[in-house]
Amino acid sequence: MNKRSNDTLDAVFSALADPTRRAILEALSEGHAQVSELAEPFEMSLPAISKHLRVLEEAGLIVRERDGRFHRMHLHSQPLKDAAEWLDHYRNFWNTRLDSLGTFLNKTKK
């Protein structure tokens, strides 16, 4: 994996580490929303929400569309897909290892 891919994965996993940002992504999975709409369910200031949105933007997880004073946010799912593929590789790795361990243990019991 190249450095750029690693940096991208680092940014995605870092962004996903925060429950507020995960909730924002969940809301955006239903469709686009304005910043004020995304801030509504949280007990934090608009500047605090904006910081979360900036982290998500920098990770490539959301895209901002400006229409005059209004900022509409959209989910960009490709970085999530890339992260899921990376995780799948290791899931397959560990499943194979655990299957081998199970086979070994079954043989040693007999």
Q: What is the CATH number of the domain that holds 45?
A: 1.10.10.10
Q: 3-state DSSP call for residue 33?
A: strand
DSSP state of 99: H
pLDDT category at 1 given cuts 50, 70, 90 is low
Range of the domain at 55: 3-109
39, 49 Cβ separation under 8 angstroms: yes
Q: What is the mean pLDDT of residues 58-74?
A: 93
The model's pLDDT over 21-58, given as tens digits with 9 standing for 90+, comes to 999 999 999 999 999 999 999 999 999 999 999 999 99
Mean pLDDT of the chain: 88
Give how many domains the chain has, as a whole number: 1
* Beta bridge partner(s), residue 70: 67
Q: CA 102, 105, 107, 110 torsion: positive or negative?
A: negative
In which residue are the tokens 């901002």 written? 64
Q: What is the pTM of this model?
A: 0.77
Pairwise CA distance, residues 12 & 14, whole Å: 5
